[in-house]
Amino acid sequence: MLSREKPEDVGEKVSYRGTSRRYAQLRFGNPGSIRVTVVLDEVGPGDIDLFVDANRDRKVDDRDRVAGTKGSSGREQFWRLPFDVAMVEGDVTKTTRRALIFRLGATGRTLGYLEGTVTMEGQPRSVRRMDGDGNGLMTNAQDRLWIDLNRDGRWDAASEQFLYATILNLGGARYVLRSDPLGARLALEPLVGTGTVQLALKKSKATDLRATLVGRDGSAFGLSGSEPATVPVGEYRLSTVTAAFDDPQGEQNWSFIFSDNGGKGDPDGTALARTSRSRSTRSALSIWG
Domains in the chain: boundaries: 11-104, 114-188, 194-287
Q: What is the pLDDT of residue 107?
A: 46
Could you tell me what percent of the chain has a pLDDT over 90?
34
Q: Provide the pLDDT confidence category of residue 73 given band limits of 50, 70 and 90.
A: low
Is the confidence at residue 182, as pLDDT, over 80? yes
Comparing 213 with 23, which gets the higher pLDDT?
23
Q: What is the pLDDT of residue 253?
A: 82
Cross-strand bridge partners of residue 174: 169
Residue 216 neighbours by CB under 8 Å, 6+ apart: 234, 235, 236
Q: What is the pLDDT of residue 35?
A: 93
**pTM, entire model:** 0.62
Is the confidence at residue 66, as pLDDT, over 70? yes
Q: How far is CA 198 from CA 72, 87, 113, 228, 267, in A?
A: 48, 25, 31, 4, 21
Average pLDDT over residues 201-218: 83
- Can you tell me whether residue 174 is helix, strand or coil? strand
Q: What is the pLDDT of residue 10?
A: 95
> Per residue in 90-124, pLDDT tens?
788 999 999 888 887 644 444 567 889 999 888 99
Among the listed residues 137, 218, 211, 145, the one whose alpha carbon sits nearest the alpha carbon of residue 181: 137
Could you tell me what percent of the chain has a pLDDT over 70?
86
Q: What is the pLDDT of residue 111?
A: 52
Average pLDDT over residues 204-230: 83
> Per residue in 121-161, pLDDT tens?
889 999 999 988 888 889 988 899 999 999 999 889 889 99
Among the listed residues 283, 289, 266, the one whose alpha carbon sits nearest the alpha carbon of residue 211: 289
Average pLDDT over residues 267-274: 36
Averaged confidence pLDDT in the chain? 82
Helix (H) / strand (E) containing 136: none
Q: Provide the pLDDT confidence category of residue 261 given band limits of 50, 70 and 90.
A: low
